[in-house]
Chains A and B, each alone.
Chain A
Amino acid sequence: MSAFYPDSAAANGLALCHACGRVERVTLARCPRCDARLHLRNPASLQRTLALTFSAILLYFPANMLPILKVESISGAQANTIVGGVIQFWQSADYPVAIIIFTASVMIPILKIIALLWLCLAARLGRHPLAMTRLYRITELVGRWSMVDVFVVAILVAVVQLGSVISIHPGPAALSFASVVILTMLAAISFDPRLIWDAAAQGEAPHA
C-alpha cells in the first residue's frame, strides 16, 4: 500500500486517532490527547479480517447443523436447529417472527461473511470505492442484530423453570452461533475501509 490519494491525511504524514478523532503527525506514535497508538492504517488489517472471517465460516457449520435449543416436555424431547426454528414458526403461521429470525440468524450472517470477503478483495482491487465504503458501513451496522437468537435461548432457559412439566436447555449450536457473530463483528472492526481508497489511488496512478 504505497499509494495514497494526494489529498488524504496519510499522504500528508497525518494520522487520524482512532480513539478520539484528532489529526496528528504519525511520527508522534501516540496521540498527544488520548495516548492511543497512531497508525496511518489499521495494523495487519486484511490479514486479521480474513483470519477472523475464515474462523467464522468454520464455526458457521456447527452453528447450523447442531441443535440450538433442546425442549423436554411430557410429549417428549425435541431438539431445534436455527433453520428448524424458522420452519416451525412459519408452519404455525407466525410469519413476522419467522421472517425476523430468518433475517437475523440466516441471512445477515451469510451476507456479512460474503461482504467481508468482498471488502477484502476490494481493498486489493480498488474498484468502486464509494459503493464499497457504503457496503462496509452497512456491514458494521447490522452485524449485532444476529445475536437475537442467542438472547432468545437465554430468555427461554431463564423463564422456563417449571420442573417436570417442561424444561429447556441450550444446545451446542448456541455457543457456535454466538462465536460466529462475535468473530464477524471483530472482523468488521479490524477491516480498514481506507485501504479501498488506497487501492483505488494506486489504480489511478500512472504505472504504479
Chain B
Amino acid sequence: MRPSGSSKHLACPDCDALFEAPVLKEGEQVLCPQCHALLFHYRRNSLHRASALTIAAGFLFLVANFFPFMTLRAGYRENQMVLSQSVSGLEAQGSPYLGAAVAIFTLVAPTLIIGGLIYLLLPLVASSRRLPGSIPLCRWVYRMRRWNMVEVFLLGALVSLLKLGKLATLTLGISFWAFVGLIICLTAALASIDYRELWARLENAQR
C-alpha cells in the first residue's frame, strides 16, 4: 500500500470534485471521475528513481555550462559559444531584461529544480529525514517547474543551427550533447515524482 497522508480525501485541482482516495497498485493511475484529469500515477520507488535521474541531470547540467555549446567558423575566424553567453550576449547588446528572462528560464529555474530536488530527495530516500527549509523549498520547486524551459531552448538551438548553417560552419560542442541528456534526465525525473508521496513522506520525515 502507498504511504498516504492523514487526509483520506482527494480533490481535483481542475474541477474540485471531491472523492475518496483509492488504494492503488503498482502502475495504476487516479483519474478525476468528473473531468478525467490525471491526478496521480503510482509507481513503486518513484522517489528513488527521481533522485537517481536528478543526480544525473545535475552532472549533465554542470557539463553543459562549462564546455562549449557551439563553435562557429567563417573564413579564418572561429568563435566558441558557452551557454552563459546567451545571457551575457544579450546584456552586452543592450537588452538586460531579455538577458534576465533567458537566465531565469535556462539557468535559474533548472538550477533551483535540480538543486532543490537533490536537497529534498537524498535525505528522504537515504534515511527518511528532511533537512531544514524542506517544506518551503518543495513548494518553490513545484512552482518553478513551468518556468524551466530547457527543452524550448534546445528547439531554439536547432532553429539557430539551420538559420546560420548557410552563412558559416557550425559544430556542436560537448555541452550541446550534455544539454540533450539533461533534458531527457530532468523530464524523466519530474515525470516520475509522485508529489502526493513526496509530500506525505516529507510530512512524516524526521527532522
Instruction: State the majority secondary structure of interface residues on A.
Output: helix
Chain B, residues 1-18, CB within 8 Å of chain A (1/0): the string is 000010101111111111
Could you tell me if A148 and B152 are in contact, using CB atoms closer than 8 angstroms? yes
> Which of A33, A101, A144, A154 contacts B102, CB < 8 Å?
A154
How many interface contacts (CB-CB < 8 Å) are there between A and B?
Answer: 195
Taking each of B70, B95, B157, which has the highest tally of chain A beta carbons within 10 Å of its own beta carbon? B95
User: Looking across the interface, which residue of chain B has its beta carbon closest to that of A85?
Assistant: B163
Report Cα–Cα, A19/B139, bound state, in Å: 6
With known contacts A12-B18, A147-B152, A194-B15, A158–B195 Cβ distance under 8 A:
no
> Which of B106, B159, B170 contacts A148, CB < 8 Å?
B159
Report Cα–Cα, A137/B159, bound state, in Å: 27
Instruction: List B contacts of A106 (CB < 8 A).
Output: none
Instruction: List B contacts of A182 (CB < 8 A).
Output: 101
Instruction: List A contacts of B14 (CB < 8 A).
Output: 133, 136-137, 193-194
Report Cα–Cα, A53/B162, bound state, in Å: 33
Could you tell me if B101 and A178 are in contact, using CB atoms closer than 8 angstroms? yes
Instruction: List B contacts of A92 (CB < 8 A).
Output: 166
Taking each of B89, B90, B149, B162, which has the highest tally of chain A beta carbons within 10 Å of its own beta carbon? B89
B interface list, Cβ under 8 A from A: 5, 7, 9-19, 34-37, 70, 72, 74-75, 77, 79, 81, 85-90, 93, 95, 97-99, 101-102, 105-106, 135-136, 138-139, 142-143, 146, 149, 152-153, 155-157, 159-160, 162-164, 166-168, 170, 195-196, 199, 203
